[in-house]
Each structure stands twice: as C-alpha cells, then as structure tokens.
Amino acid sequence: MNILVTGGAGYIGSHTCVELLNADHQVVIYDNLYNAKSAVMDRISHITGKDVCFVRGDILDEKALDAVFTQHPIDAVIHFAGLKAVGESVEKPLLYYENNVSGTITLCKAMARAGCKKMIFSSSATVYRMRMEPPFPAFTEDMPLGPINPYGATKRMIEQILTDLAASDKEWSVALLRYFNPIGAHESGLLGEDPQGIPNNLLPYVMRVAVGKLPCLQIFGDDYPTPDGTGVRDYIHVVDLAKGHLAALRALESGGARPYNLGTGRGYSVKDVVAAFSRACGHEIPCRVAPRRAGDAPWYYADATRAKEELGWTAQYDLDRMCEDAWRFIRANPDGIR
C-alpha cells in the first residue's frame, strides 16, 4: 500500500515508518518538523535500506495537502501529526484545539477530495476517565471517556469526529489506536525519543540524567495508593507500538471507526522504571521526591484483548528491553539526533 504518514518524522511516526518500509509498503512522510529533525529521514533510510519520500508541510495547509494527494497515489493515512505536551495544552488550549482538531478536519477534507478514506489515528489513553482512588481496573475500549486536560480532550474530540464521519459515509474506515506509554528506541540506536527542551515524559528525563545532561530525576509524588507509592503506568516499547499500526491496516478493510488499546496489559511504577534503567546503564539514577502534579492519575494500564483478537497483535518486549534500547540510543546520541 501507499501510506501517507503525517508526523512521520516524530518519535512514534519514525519507528512506524521503519516497520511499514520493512513490510514493503510505500511511505510518504508529511511533517512540519516542529518537534522533529530532518536527519530522521536519513536514519530511516539507513535502517531499512530504502529511500524515504519526505514532504515538509503542515496539516493546517489545505493546498500543501492537496498537492501531496495529487502527486502520490495514497491508499491510507496514518495520522500522528499534532501537539502532545499535556502541560503546554493547559497553558495554551487554543493552540492545541486549532492544531490538533482543526488540523485533523483539514486533513480529512483533503482525503475526501482525493477519494482516500482509510485512516489510522494516533489517539491516547488520556481519553479515558481516570480513577484517582482504588480500584484501578485495566481500561477496556468501552469504559467511560473523560479526559482531564486539553490535550486529551483534543484526542477525544477527534475520535468523535472520525466516528461521526465513518457513520455518515460507509466508504470511510478508521482505526482509533489508544496508546498507553511508549518508551524505548530502535535496536540500532539510530532512532529514539528526542524531545525539544526539558522532557515532559518520564523516560526521556531519566535518559538525560543517565548521560549527565540533567542532574537529578524528580519523582512527582511517592504517596499514591500504589505498591511503592509512585505512579504506575502501562509502558510499551515503541517498536511494539509501531507494529500495532501495521496490524491495524487490516482493520481498515471492515469499514466504520473502531478503537483499540495498544499496551502491554501490566503496570510499572516510576521506581520500577528507574531501577530497570539503572540496570541498563550500569549505574544508579539520582532521584528526589517532589510534590504530586495536579491531575496525575495514580495507576492505569490497558486491557489489549481486542487488539489481540481482532488485529492479531500483542506487545512482545518487557521493561528491561525497553530501557536497554533507550540507553543504547541516548548513549549514541547524548545531544539528540543531529
């Protein structure tokens, strides 16, 4: 298939492009490089041994999108492009609603004009209504939704838009992939998470502490109702997540819009992650406890049964492998991808 990958130069997008190319799909990466590097395209080519078609453009740019669909016979779109920092979304909600929601609508209109009506959407576990007190059951796709920040709200809105679109026109087929917490890196050490500035997520922060770029990891709260008091999340290797997109292509044959959780089905605490990364890098990670962050849920993890039964997909890598691959990447790229 010919796949347009919006945001394909980003962390999850780049790993997904590797899996698509290795499976002999044709890929067009469409990215504005807001939070990505152009060097990523060379690294994807190096890993796969295949040329990468890259178009620099924004999902809010109708003319640029129309040009991509005119110049390339696109069969399906994998839509990663969007802003993703939870804290920034609270500070700048209009920016997030405009870019993520309006950008997706603009993309869908361009797809419709081109007669391309198959999409895999990069959603998030943040669409769920998080529990702040026990019990903490695994999330299934039919559990109540209720995001608690503008970033999660944009994902929820987009899911609804795509669901309504697929209901209005039977030619549309959409897979809504709800990611849990992707970490890790490609085993080559060439691709990995490389955020701009101070990282917002746990593992990129740990990685920078491990190579001496940051002095100490802040653990936000150690008094949660969890086994060791720190927050528990369902961490998934980014390559497992990328392969989930490959599996989701088969779901696009059935029509309609269908959500799928992509997670391992188990939770790891902040202290679990720190211990695993310490084993990977061979030295202790200095930490200090800071107050809880507002809105952080104590514990959540996925029930990924639907993805297993309908897509034939399950996560393969454990936490130690996730940290080993992340350490290999940051050790080879202490200043990020250049």
Write down the residue that tokens 């959603």 correspond to: 123
Residue 255 DSSP one-character state: -
Active site residue 96: no
- Spatial separation of the C-alpha atoms in residues 4 and 35, rounded to whole Å: 18
In the chain the beta strands, taken as DSSP E runs, fall at 2-6, 26-31, 53-56, 76-79, 118-124, 173-179, 181-183, 217-220, 232-233, 235-237, 256-262, 268-269, 287-290
Please confirm whether the linkage preceding 135 is cis (ω < 30° from 0): yes
- Nearest in space to 177 (alpha carbons), one of 266, 80, 58: 80
In 221-280 the beta strands, taken as DSSP E runs, fall at 232-233, 235-237, 256-262, 268-269
Give the rounded distance of the alpha carbon of 23 from its chain centre: 20
Residue 307 DSSP one-character state: I
Spot the catalytic one: 11, 96, 128, 151. Answer: 151
CA 253, 257, 258, 260 dihedral sign is: positive
- Spatial separation of the C-alpha atoms in residues 118 and 112, rounded to whole Å: 10
- Nearest in space to 302 (alpha carbons), one of 319, 291, 314, 289: 314
The end-to-end CA distance of the chain, in Å, is 31
- Nearest in space to 8 (alpha carbons), one of 26, 25, 33: 33
Positions annotated as catalytic residues are 151
